[in-house]
Amino acid sequence: MKIEIKNLPSEMKLNPKVTTNRRKLRKRHFDLNQKNRYRRMSSKLTEKLRKEHGIRSIPINTQDVVKVISGKYKGRTGKVLKVSQRNYAVAVEGCEKTISGQKINDLIHPSNLEITSLNLTHKGRMKAIKNRKEANLKKIEVMRAKFSPLVSNQ
């Protein structure tokens, strides 16, 4: 049994109730509350941490050790000194710029970082990791149950 998927034009919206208006998307992005900004400021984990914790990404926190994977400071590793939710940016140890003779930490977007070591002293962080891992396992079981008859009949 073969499954046919029709090619949809890339311009076609799948859900008519979800907007694609740039102005509205930017407004929602910059007007988010603190909880949703925290969630949006996630960085991916290294392969080792992915296997250990069973998740791909997690919101970034201070004292996490990160590696810069793209941008001006690519390849540098350091601790997170400051997380600026207002600017959607992170200050990393060793990523500095000089302005008027003073060294200032340069801010980097979390999508350009990879977490190499987690700071698990934050309250509830280990619990959040455990909950996400369990949710991922449930999702995998549901997908296997849904698609296993389709795969076995090929």
Edge-to-edge strand list for the sheet holding 77-84: 57-59, 42-45, 113-117, 65-68, 77-84, 89-99, 102-108
Sign of CA pseudo-dihedral 131, 132, 133, 136: positive
Q: For residue range 65-85, list pLDDT tens digits in order.
A: 999 999 999 999 999 999 999
Buried b (16+ CB within 10 A) or exposed e, 113-125: bbbebbeeeeeeb
H runs (alpha helix) in the chain = 22-30, 34-40, 47-53, 125-152
pLDDT digits (tens, 9 = 90+) for 94-136: 999 999 999 999 999 999 999 999 999 987 899 999 999 999 9
* 23-39 per-residue burial string, b: 16 or more CB within 10 A, e: under 16: eeeeeeeeeeeeeebee
pLDDT at site 74: 96
Strand partners, 78: 66
Extents of the domains making up the chain: 39-152
Confidence of residue 153 (pLDDT cuts 50, 70, 90): low
Q: 39-152: what CATH class?
A: mainly beta
Q: How far is CA 67 from CA 18, 41, 137, in A?
A: 35, 15, 28
pTM confidence score: 0.79
